[in-house]
Structure 1
Amino acid sequence: MKILSWNCRGLGNQRAVDVLSHLVREKAPNILFLMETKRSIVEMRQIQADLPYRCMLAVPNIQRCGGLALLWMEEIELHVQTFTLNHIDALIMNDTDNPWRLTGFYGWPDETMKHNSWHLLKHLHTRHSIPWLCCDDFNEILNSNEKQGRLPKPMAPMQQFRATLLQCGLVDLGFQGYMYTWNNGHGGDEFV
């Protein structure tokens, strides 16, 4: 099974939609999680119509900020459990003897609100004890070497993030390719 998670930073222009269509054709994911769609549910339905996914849960944007969407192929037995402006949590039941959990997560970008991200993640952790994949943009880094720029990242937020991942039993899967793929200090990783 292939999963694609993308912080698209808005699907309000045709170029972004074209990039999304190209990614879906090239990677052929069974499940697609989108963050920062900046689209309403109606607008996401229009985008969905041009993609091969018949199933979707969209969390609308608020004043053109945020917005999440989880899209999946019909043959995937996916059951959404909960969702907020910052997450979509689902069970994958294709193998009934080995169900697993997928959470699409978008952390609060505002430094003063990050504690809400960690509280939500800890709460989600308590809901099930099956294998868990968290596709995300936590809007936080684990280590200072994950940041470019002159000003160093304060240690306390990174330590709180690491403590939350440890408490939730999540492990960074790492990445392949160029390390710095984001703008303005926002990036994402996958954790299981």
Structure 2
Amino acid sequence: MKLIGWNCQGAGKDLDNSNKMEFLARLMNSTGVQVTFLSETRSSRYNSSHLNSRFNTAGSFVVPSTGFSGGLWLLWSDEVRVSINFSNQYLILAVVGHIHTNVDFALACVYGDPHHRHTRMIWEQISTFVNDNLGKPLVFLGDMNELMSEADTTFRLM
């Protein structure tokens, strides 16, 4: 199984004339990736049909940005089936099944709250999803924007 996760920091104004999106299309094609997750697309202009057409994917799911902030895209090939369990501006939680091997796994695609106002809610959603899918392998893709300790909040010069 091949997966890509990328915080693209903006998809650009045009899917066909963006260096980032051209790079992504080439990467997806050359690697034969089955699942691709993009965070921080900063776009609400594109829907699933735009993405499927541009990236030659079998399916996709879009969480639009809020203004110029956020935005999540999940794209997949015809080698997998995807069932979205939950989504919001920070998460796409899905069960993915590989068609040829008939193996299912839980997929948590995360773009954590950069301001840490909703961190607890994000972790609660992930925890519920994990508990609902016990026994399945779990894959996390994304940017947690998570502080693990007080040391993460300070920079130390040596």
Shorter-chain TM-score: what band? 0.7 to 0.9
Aligned to 1:50: 54
Q: Distance in 2 between matches of 1:27 and 1:144?
A: 39
Q: Is it true that 1:17 corresponds to 2:21 in the alignment? A: yes
Partner of 1:162 in structure 2?
none
Displacement after TM superposition at 1:78 (Å): 1.7
Paired position in structure 1 for 2:128? 123
Are 2:48 and 2:61, in contact at CA under 8 Å, matched by a contact in 1?
Answer: no
- SS of the residue 1:111 aligns to: coil
The alpha-carbon deviation at position 142 of structure 1 amounts to: 4.9
How many residues are aligned here?
149
- Partner residue, 2:140: 134
Higher helix share: 1
How many percent of aligned residue pairs carry the same amino acid?
Answer: 23
| Number of the residue aligned with 1:105 | 110
Q: Which amino acid is the alignment partner of residue 36 of structure 2? A: L
3-state SS of the aligned residue for 1:50? helix
Q: Which runs of 4+ in 1 moved over 4 A?
A: 141-145
Is 1:80–2:84 an aligned residue pair? yes
Unaligned runs of 5+ in 1: 153-192
| Structure 2 spans left out of the alignment, 5+ residues | none
Between 46-55 and 6-15, the greater mean CA deviation after superposition: 46-55
Comparing both structures, which one devotes a greater share of its residues to strand? Answer: 2
Separation in 1 of the partners of 2:138 and 2:27?
A: 24
Aligned counterparts of 2:54 and 2:83: Cα–Cα separation in 1: 23
Kindly state the Cα deviation for residue 150 of structure 1 after the two structures are TM-superposed: 7.0
Larger RCO: 1 or 2 (CA < 8 Å, sep 6+): 2
> Is residue 51–residue 57 contact of structure 2 (8 Å, CA) maintained in 1?
no
